[in-house]
Amino acid sequence: MNLFNKKIRISLIMSILLLMVLLIIGFICFFNNTVVNTKLNTLAGGLLTGFIIAFFQLLLSWYEYREIDKFKRMYVVDIKSNRDDRQFYENLIRNSKEKIDIMGVTATRFINHFADLASSRESTKVLLTAMSNGIKVRILIPDIKFLEDKRQMDDAKHTHEIFEKIKQKFNNMLEFKYFKHVATHSIFIVDDLCIIGPVFPGISSKDTPAILIKKNSPYAEKYIQYFEQEWNKL
């Protein structure tokens, strides 16, 4: 149905463009073959100018539509310059209905923000609340020996301890695994939304860009397959 509607829209635009070209040609022929009449020529000249302007505006709109359609066909929802939007992720977790998959470097900041066992604030326990409501969480991060520096290693050790406590307290609703290579991708999958971005050495993940994309996008499918492959081979 989407393809059918798309073809109708493109055919309609092409028909309008063709009609306007024919009208412009008709006006030009009119000028060349009509006896001089000041009022009539003035009116015809104004109409011709208007048609030419409208033609180029429509042509530009068609080009913009084609460019935007590329993103629509990939089901791109948004593009963010960074991932430092705590409220955005909090809302995604709070409204999750199925499962949450995460791939990153240490997941320390994520756990501190949304799975703080010692906190009394609901906003810092939304992931724990989600798990208590039956949301399964999988976290995939590199083995400690593939981290960059001592700070990351210390974070990873502390986070691992928290993982174990959460896993025991929430009846294995949290699963975590460690892959045997350096992290290159950041992946956050919740329900039908996938947030993907790069991992740059020496740069915090919150300062790197991300693409928000529907899970059924051909672009997102490759990342989801990658996550599953990494998970299943461990």
Q: How deeply is 27 buried, as exposed, middle or buried, from its count of CB atoms within 10 A (0-12, 13-18, 19+)?
A: middle
Cα–Cα distance, 187 to 174 (Å, whole number): 17
164-183 burial: b if 16+ Cβ within 10 Å, else e: eebbeebeebbebeebeeeb
Provide the strand spans (E) within the chain: 76-80, 99-103, 136-142, 174-179, 185-190, 193-198, 210-214
Give pLDDT tens digits along the chain (234 positions).
444 344 444 455 566 666 666 666 666 666 555 544 555 556 555 666 766 676 667 666 666 666 666 667 778 888 899 988 999 999 999 999 999 999 999 999 999 999 999 988 999 999 999 999 999 999 999 999 999 889 999 999 999 999 999 999 998 899 999 999 999 999 999 999 999 999 998 888 889 999 999 999 988 999 999 999 999 998
pLDDT at residue 7, as a whole number: 45
User: What does the DSSP assignment read for 190-203?
Assistant: ETTEEEEEE--TTS
* Single pTM value for the model: 0.73
DSSP string, 118-173: T---GGG-HHHHHHHTT-EEEEEEE-GGGSSSHHHHHHHHHHHHHHHHHHHHTTT-
Tokens of 60: 């530009």
- Domain extent listing, the chain: 2-73, 77-232
For residue 44, the model assigns a pLDDT of: 58
Q: Are 219 and 185 contacting, i.e. CB atoms less than 8 angstroms apart?
A: no
Looking at residue 8, its pLDDT comes to 42
The CATH number of the domain covering residues in 77-232? 3.30.870.10
